[in-house]
Amino acid sequence: MTELDKHTLSKVPAVTLGFWFIKILATTLGETGGDTLSMTYDLGYLASTAVFATILVVLVWLQIRAKGFRPLLYWATIIASTTAGTTMADFADRSLGIGYTGGSTLLLACVLISLFIWHRTLGTINVDTVRTPAAETFYWITITFSQTLGTALGDWAADTGDLGYMGAAVIFAGLLIGVVALYYGTKISRVGLFWAAFILTRPLGAAVGDFLDKPLDHGGLDFSRPIASAVLGAVILGSIFFLPQRAGKHP
């Protein structure tokens, strides 16, 4: 690979079917992992957020310092963002008392503002251009907001929307299928569709994660959160090694 080739590679993975598969697994792990620390081990939402946010900051720092795309580092950072997003959303929705609707509205505004500032500052929000420290910083800020928003949306659909965990999962899966149909059937901005799909995978994972570990009388399967998290982590690790992992390229 020439120096020019290396320069044109993004520090995030190419958006492939394998990317989306691992992303959905990671968001599901984010829900079970966040609940493990805050509920099973009774650390609480605020303390759990502090733990996961610290890990996230360290991993983002390592990600920015890395010379190129590192699959294990990238996906570890994604998992840290989704576990931190789970506990942050639960803290805002439950401990602060703003509710699922208020939390979802606030976090959606944060995502849109982050994308707007990113675009105004660098001229694009295309993930294939994530190479510079500035672009990476915006990327991880936006992702963390989107992961937090996804948790709030999943809880809102399951509880406030009275759909239950599997009902919510079906709704968000259907919306993702709609995004895929728009991708193949229209000329709508691919960048916009990517971010729509990226956000929607999080509430899908949140609903599936809740379905796995919530009590039977709450509509869940009551699986052990630590065991479910360990199994999901093992599947993600295997997927990283066995599914093609390559850096995206600048358009």
pLDDT of residue 1: 47
Tens digits of residue pLDDT in 138-151: 999 999 999 988 88
| pLDDT beyond 70 at 2 | no
Q: How far is CA 101 from the centre of its chain?
A: 19
pLDDT of residue 100: 79
Cα–Cα distances in Å, from 242 out to 20, 66, 77, 236?
A: 14, 22, 19, 10
Higher local confidence (pLDDT), 191 or 97? 191
Higher local confidence (pLDDT), 219 or 196? 196
Neighbours of 8 (CB within 10 A): 15
Which whole number is the average pLDDT over 68-84? 95
pLDDT of residue 155: 82
Residue 154 pLDDT level (bands cut at 50, 70, 90)? confident
Tens digits of residue pLDDT in 156-208: 888 877 788 889 999 999 999 999 999 999 999 999 999 999 999 989 998 89
Which residues on adjacent β-strands are paired with residue 9? 249
Neighbours of 9 (CB within 10 A): 18
Specify whether the CB–CB gap between 53 and 84 falls below 8 A: yes
Q: How far apart are CA 168 and CA 163, in angstroms?
A: 6
Question: Domain residue spans in the chain?
Answer: 7-249
pLDDT of residue 170: 93
| pLDDT beyond 70 at 8 | no
pLDDT of residue 77: 97
Q: How far apart are CA 90 and CA 84, in angstroms?
A: 10
Q: How far apart are CA 173 and CA 18, in angstroms?
A: 17
Radius of gyration of the chain (CA): 17
Tens digits of residue pLDDT in 23-44: 999 999 999 999 999 999 999 9
Specify whether the CB–CB gap between 103 and 159 falls below 8 A: no
